[in-house]
Amino acid sequence: MKSVRPASTEEIDEQLRELAEQLTRMDQRLRRLERQVAATTPRGWECTVCERGWVSARGGVLSCNRCSFRRHL
């Protein structure tokens, strides 16, 4: 019966390095996606209360520029 050879320290180091590189690549990809989302997300949306104003988030508060709609995030 063949015994399973435990992974050597070098092999574990190599695996860890590969995993670290994968994480770095995924992190970079995530940042790129976040920038894309931030660039394409509008700064506000039509108010559903008065249907004429524009709701935007500022300082953690959503507010309409036409009616009294306010909501804390």
Alpha-carbon dihedral angle through residues 46, 49, 55, 61, given to the nearest 10 degrees? -160
Which CA distances in Å does 68 have to 35, 59, 71? 32, 17, 10
Site for Zn ion in 23-42 (CB under 5 A): none
- Candidates 44, 56, 62, 69; binder of Zn ion (CB under 5 A) is 69
Using an 8 Å Cβ cutoff, are 65 and 49 in contact?
no
Q: How many residues bind Zn ion (CB under 5 A)?
A: 8
Which region, judged by CB under 5 A, interacts with Zn ion, from 7-15, 19-27, 30-38, 52-60?
52-60
| Residue ranges binding Zn ion (CB under 5 A) | 47, 49-50, 53, 64, 66-67, 69
